[in-house]
Amino acid sequence: MDRITTIQVNSSTRDRLYKLKFRKTYDEYLNFLMDMSEKLEREGGKRRVSPDKVLAMSEAMRGWVARNVKWKNGRMAAVDLDGR
């Protein structure tokens, strides 16, 4: 019986998906995960949050949200995608 991949797609589709999602083929991504896992283990499983970068992105987005998102009763009601 033919074995299918763990995520149930053929290898070319799997690589397409991984390239879209992670800019790496499936095998490259697995290697990346293994490297990352070893690195995290070395670092004692610490989170690798880069708050400065995240907060800078967030700051930029807040301005965009203020200009392009409409709220109704405290809930997001509309987004102007063309404003992006």
Question: Binders of another protein among 41-70, rule CB under 8 A?
Answer: 45, 47-51, 54-55, 57-59, 61-62, 64-65
Residue 43 is given by DSSP the state T
Q: For residues 84 and 80, what is the distance between their CA atoms, to the nearest angstrom? A: 8
DSSP bridge partners of 70: 78
Q: For residues 67 and 46, what is the distance between their CA atoms, to the nearest angstrom? A: 37
Q: Does 29 participate in binding another protein (rule CB under 8 A)?
A: no
Q: Does 21 participate in binding another protein (rule CB under 8 A)?
A: yes
Binding site for another protein (CB under 8 A): 4-5, 7-10, 13, 17-18, 20-22, 40, 45, 47-51, 54-55, 57-59, 61-62, 64-65, 71, 74-82, 84
